[in-house]
Structure 1
Amino acid sequence: IPQDYYAPDELQPRLPQPFRMLDRIIRDLVEKVLDEVDADKGEEETPEELPPSLVLPSCSHALCVYNSRDGQFLYAGTSTGHIHVCHASRGARIQHSVSLTGPVRAIQGQGPLLAAATDTHLAVFHCLRFPPFLKPHAFHPLPSAPAALQLARGGSHVAATMPDAEVRLFRVPPLPDLFDSEHEEGTGPAASPA
């Protein structure tokens, strides 16, 4: 048997007609599958573009934003010193803005608490759900605006990363019991540095 008898390129002309047709069909199928695999790999390498599903015109001038854990509410801190509470699916502003002194540089939430920082102070709010409302809970002066805020899981502390790479920890007083007869409106406690 000659050696070139086993060469795959030389084999097809020696096959009978039905086998040559099958060989051509199989080669075409394999080439199509390989082309589709290459096209799929090319699509996987390009990142998928996600257009915004909703633009919130009521949250203009936003510097920072926090989305509630359930995704229902959006809290936007603005350059004008306001915190807007918006309904995430409708895009409508839910309540009148809470005004702070100076632009809101960082905002973070955990459970029923929302912490916001301006250039001069840290404010902690109690987020009431029905109706949605931000009730002031604690305030503390700051030397400058923090780069980031992080509320502890239980809301007992707020950590602020300052621009000079210093971390400040603030103890947040517990939320008042709604059924406590000694609690008076408007006497929210101040946050104390830890």
Structure 2
Amino acid sequence: MWYNLYIRMRKKGQVTAMKAVSLAKVPGKPTTGGTKLYGNPDVPEVFEWPSIVDEDDIYDLAFMGQVNLYELASALPENSLPKEGMLYFFYDLDAMAFSPFDETAARVIFYRGGKPLEELCLEDENGNSLSSPVVKLEMSAAAEDNAEGHKLFGLPLGYGEEKYPRPIEGWVMLMQIDSTAKVPFEDNGALCFFVEPEKLAAADFSDVRVMIVPRK
């Protein structure tokens, strides 16, 4: 069964929990392909930046971060994701995602690896970078699944006995990006990406939902 792939997976209320991996901010510039928040993604030569069609306009999603799966395997060897490659996280900053029903508010792209990566910069018409300042991250197994801060897996910020709405009832929290001084979310909360457990086990990120969880 797919749930045998997970470490200490269990149901708590309405969210399925996996052992959390802490993403701690560390000084310095990330290496190409390293795990990071913000800045610009390190991508293969052929890469399509995810966008949204809104009436007659097309606009790009904001790059929120990337996770090096080799680094994840080192921090949490038993995780069920591939042991190499990258996950890229994108989000519609205008979404105000207080519920997970918007299917277009976020995208997670899985790249299996094997080709060189280069930084891809998104700029405005004047050549100015549209990215937020990059944050280098270091992974380690978190002491608590409900720990605050940036993390992979575990439980959402302030998790208690909330009844999370469909479609994320029973889903796994893939990543939590906490508010910072430079990139705050509404109510000083955290941006949480969710995926179905079966799709996570299959490395299928075609339907990832996002929700801003406020601080209590």
TM-score normalised according to structure 1 size? 0.33
TM-score normalised according to structure 2 size? 0.30
The structure showing larger relative contact order (alpha-carbon pairs under 8 Å, at least 6 residues apart) is: 2
Kindly name which structure, 1 or 2, has the bigger radius of gyration based on alpha carbons: 1
Higher helix content, 1 or 2: 1
